[in-house]
Structure 1
């Protein structure tokens, strides 16, 4: 298969995925809490920009900046998170990277010098395989709903 044909297959697959785009459980509530505290939120995703734009329109929840996979280099490189920190004029130790991948999200956050929170909805990372990982998250939650409590319990949330 040519690389052109492969890319077209991937794009077609992603286009079909856009039709099924859903918001994660707890995301709207977490964003409402962040808004109430005037806490900014950015997005770093491996999805295409078109998916990010559709997400913003469909769910009326905005992330700024919202970095799609067109931003290079992408996670696990710390560049996207450092770019967001620079845009916001904050230090990496003033932000938290929340994500569902140890090797991408937690690695990106740790390498940038940020706090990290692993979202592990299915308990995948409870197994012994992950007992000794290079980059351990600072926090681990089973749902986005838990992030709200984690933030209030562990941080001084000044607007």
Structure 2
């Protein structure tokens, strides 16, 4: 398996700094997800081109926000019950544990569904921040909280995710972004420092910075 692809050169300071901690997205990165956002948006009245959570936050009344979020929660809970660990994740996480690399999860999912996925898939990561705990990505608050918790400079952390918001959140936190793209590589992949096609690449990527 080829090593993770470097999409563009970082500054000499960033490229030479050691990766000491790894933060993961959850849905589509560590576990499978069948959430159909086009259906969810249609049910809550969100225009296709708008961000779902932002749309709900901006609804004019608490009742409307509550009703819309209830619909989202129902979809997330159903999705959580069907979630499965993605290929290579188990071996990768065990290797990172052996390497004494601290790990955390930052997800736009809500806590109950996220905890169900972690428990159901037996993911050995204790630290997780959901949208109930901090502003949703691409806001960097959750990522910066994790770095502070670990007493690491943000540049010594890498955020691994499968979507544009993950890349943007990493950049907003001054962390390196690793896009997980097992099949099709999207156009926005060029915005990430690394593109990973299989989880076996991640430990090698970390070792290359040490």
**Normalised by the size of structure 1, how large is the TM-score?**
0.83
Aligned to 2:175: 114
Contact 1:76 1:105 in 2 (8 A): yes
**Cα offset, 1:61, TM superposition:** 2.2
Unmatched runs of 5 consecutive residues or more in structure 2: 1-43, 45-62
Structure 1 equivalent of residue 114 of structure 2: 52
1:124 is paired with a residue of what secondary structure?
Answer: coil
1:144 correspondence with 2:199: yes
- What is the rounded CA distance, in whole Å, between the counterparts of 1:106 and 1:16 in structure 2? 27
Is the Cα–Cα contact under 8 Å of residues 162 and 180 in structure 2 kept in the other structure? Answer: yes
CA distance in 1, matches of 2:128, 2:98: 20
Deviations, residues 1-32 of structure 1 (Å, cap 9, x unaligned): 77243333222222211210111211111110
Within the candidate set 39, 58, 76, 2:138 is matched to 76
Q: TM-score, normalised by structure 2?
A: 0.64
Distance 1:25 1:7, change over 3 A: same
Unaligned regions of 5+ residues in structure 1, if any? none
Instruction: Please say which of residues 13-22 and 60-69 is displaced more in the overlay.
Output: 60-69
1:39 aligns with 2:39: no
In the alignment, which residue of structure 1 is the partner of 2:16?
Answer: none
Q: Which has the higher contact order (CA 8 A, sep 6+)?
A: 2
Corresponding residue for residue 93 of structure 1: 155
The structure-2 alpha-carbon separation of the partners of 1:5 and 1:64, relative to structure 1 and needing over 3 Å to count, comes to same
**Counterpart Cα distance in 2 of 1:52 and 1:15:** 9
For residues 35 and 138 of structure 1, the distance between their equivalents in structure 2, rounded to whole angstroms, comes to 23
**Which residue in the other structure is 1:19 paired with?**
81
* Whole-Å separation in 2 of the counterparts to 1:61 and 1:99: 16
Among residues 96, 105, 115, which one is paired with 2:166 in the alignment? 105
SS in structure 2 of the partner of residue 97 of structure 1: strand
Contact 2:139/2:169 (CA < 8 Å) preserved in 1?
A: yes
Report the secondary structure of 2:160's partner residue: strand
- Judged with a 3 Å threshold, the aligned counterparts in structure 2 of structure 1 residues 98 and 130 are, in CA distance, closer, same or farther, namely closer
Using the TM superposition, give the Cα deviation of residue 150 of structure 1 relative to its aligned residue in structure 2, in angstroms: 1.9
The size of the alignment, in residue pairs, is 148
